[in-house]
Amino acid sequence: MSLQIYNSLSRRKEPFEPIEPGKVRLYVCGVTVYDRSHTGHAMSALVFDMVRRYLEYRGYAVRHVVNFTDVDDKIIRRCAEAGISAFELADRYAREYLDDMARMGVQPATLYPRVSSEIPAIVAMIGELIEGGHAYRAPNGDVYFDARSFSGYGKLSGRSLDELESGEEPSEAKRHPADFALWKAARPGDPWWEAPWGRGRPGWHIECSAMARAHLGDRIDIHGGGNDLIFPHHENEIAQSESARGVAPFARYWMHNGMLQFPSGGSGVDKMSKSLGNVVPIGDFLDAHEADAFRLFVLSSHYRRPVTLTDEALAAAEKGLERLRGALAPARPAAGEGATAAEAELAAAAARARTDFLREMDDDFGTPAAIAALFELGKALNRARDAGAGVDALAAAQADLIELAGAIGFDLAGGARPAETDAGAADRATPLVELLLELRGMARAERQWAMADRIRDRMAELGIEVVDTSEGSTWRWA
Ligand SMILES: [Zn+2]
């Protein structure tokens, strides 16, 4: 059977057929970079990292675009409070997000466009929408999308315009409550750009339509995001993209992940929210937990369902990860009596695990059952080792386990990723440490003792110990 994907638009599973054979155009809504990213963002990124890795494992070349929203009310407000420029703040959190994703073991997207550098594409699309009678300039200078001009409005979320009309307060600027801002006229203190209809900045929804088109084309294969984005964001993306050039469908498959939840004080669950105090920055989370344990926790549920993050669930994932790694232990020194039978059984178990894994993954990325197949192979490995299976037979099945787990992003053989990242960072730091040591040497040669000592003390604070010997100075990580 071929890969089946649940399409939120048709509300059923469909066989996956990309526009261009062998290639996948994947767009996933990214983060608004006004604060540190949290475990909820990590979960969504991890789900689509799994999707992309599995598509690549299946032989597709995936072009993966994720946007950074760096022009936004929240950013502007924050910056006014902090007295720094909007782009400075956004850039800081965008960099931190990329670092967080690297620590999380999430592959970097092919491209991370930012609103601030995509204005021409955004202005062009709004121009087309005005031209085509899908957008209008309101008396206050804003430009709105005319929801009634698009007959398909509501097809993703299942909401009708009538229903939306009754639910909302009438506004002076908008002709219909479902209309939404494509362009917000410049207000004092806000960042602005020139446009034929007046200075201002883009609304939120238009950026994704414009960026997807600019970097992936008029039509894309998969559009992803959290299910909290279905309405209004994705509904509005469809309205914009399909109205601009009349090309439909904008996205062939809409994929939505369930939300990360937290146990509440009572018996139910809470959403993530600042006021409940359950918002944990990714960096802090990874200081306490391993990335692959979080991956195992997330992928142990189906991506469309909500998952509840509890200490018990995380501890179970940590144990599970240990079990999978334990299956990679080497063979016992002497082959036992039942070795041949055990090896045959292990080879059969490995073949079965592969079949099961692929079947479950092909069924709308069924990671819970696919992971169960990995655990079965792990058990078979341990049984075979106990029964005295030889090195080659164990290594072959272990390679299968590493390969299949790797197809959904686990790094079983490499061990803990954070440590690996630290080692990589340490490697890159070496030339800088050597440079500091050289400067200290020069200071000493010129008898500038205070300077030399200051450099040594500051290096010590950074965890680098300077060792002076008769042959000169060396260093080591403290
Ligand atoms: Zn978006």
Confidence check: pLDDT of 297 > 90: yes
**How far is ligand 1, taken at its centre, from the CA of residue 67, in Å?**
7
Confidence of residue 329 (pLDDT cuts 50, 70, 90): very high
Q: Which amino acid is present at 163?
A: E
Q: How far is the CA of 206 from the centre of ligand 1 (A)?
A: 8
**pLDDT given for residue 421 in this prediction:** 43
Instruction: Report pLDDT for 417.
Output: 42
pLDDT at residue 333 is higher than 90: no
Lowest mean pLDDT of 140-144, 324-328, 437-441, name the range.
Answer: 437-441
Residue 334: predicted pLDDT: 67
Cα–ligand 1 centroid distance for 44 (angstroms)? 13
SS3 136: strand
pLDDT for 246 = 82
Range 375-399 average pLDDT: 95
3-state class (DSSP) for residue 82: helix
Ligand 1: centre distance to CA 375 (Å):
36
8 A C-beta contact, residue 181 and residue 200: no
pLDDT > 90 in the chain, percent: 71
Residue 460 confidence (pLDDT): 84
Buried b (16+ CB within 10 A) or exposed e, 411-430: bbeeeebbeebeeeeeeeee
Residue 210 alpha carbon to ligand 1 centre in Å? 10
Between CA 228 and CA 226 the distance in angstroms is 5
Taking residues 262-274, report their average pLDDT: 76
Mean pLDDT of 380-400: 94
Q: Give the Cβ contact number of residue 450 at 10 Å.
A: 8
Which domains does the chain possess? 4-262 (3.40.50.620), 327-414 (no CATH), 417-477 (no CATH)
Cα(191) to centroid(ligand 1), Å: 21
Q: 75 CA distance to ligand 1 centroid (A)?
A: 17
Do the beta carbons of residue 190 and residue 142 sit within 8 Å? no
User: How remote is the CA of residue 204 from the centroid of ligand 1, in Å?
Assistant: 8
Strand order from edge to edge, sheet including 220-226: 61-66, 23-28, 220-226, 251-257
Ligand 1 centroid distance, CA of 82 (Å): 27
Among the listed ranges 5-19, 209-223, 412-426, which one has the minimum average pLDDT value? 412-426
- Is it true that the peptide bond before 249 is cis, omega within 30 degrees of 0? yes
Question: Ligand 1 centroid to 426 CA: how many Å?
Answer: 36
pLDDT at 420: 38
Distance (Å) from CA 227 to ligand 1 centroid: 12
Task: Decide if pLDDT at 416 tops 70.
Answer: no
CA of 322 to the centre of ligand 1 (A): 37
Q: Which amino acid is at 88?
A: E
Average pLDDT (250-258) is: 98
Instruction: Identify the residue whose tokens are 């016992």.
Output: 332
Average pLDDT of 460-477?
78
Average pLDDT of the chain, as a whole number: 91
Cβ 454 vs Cβ 463: under 8 Å? no
Largest CA distance in the chain: 88
Residue 17 CA, ligand 1 centroid: distance in Å: 23
* Paired tokens of 302: 């189906």
pLDDT (0 to 100) of residue 167: 67
- The pLDDT value recorded for residue 428 is 65
* pLDDT number for residue 467: 81
Please name the residue ranges forming H helices in 222-338: 235-244, 282-288, 291-299, 311-326
Q: How far, in Å, from the CA of 339 to the mean position of ligand 1?
A: 56
pLDDT tier for residue 82 given thresholds of 50, 70 and 90: confident
Q: How far is the CA of 312 from the centre of ligand 1 (A)?
A: 33
> Distance (Å, rounded) from C-alpha 304 to C-alpha 309?
15
Would you give the end-to-end CA distance of the chain in angstroms?
A: 55
* Both tokens assigned to 356: 């099961």
What the block records as the tokens of 131 is 């031209």
| Average of per-residue pLDDT across 214-218 | 96
d(Cα 132, Cα 190) in Å, to the nearest integer? 29
Give residues whose Cβ lies within 5 Å of ion ligand 1.
Answer: 29, 208
Query: What's residue 229's pLDDT?
Result: 97
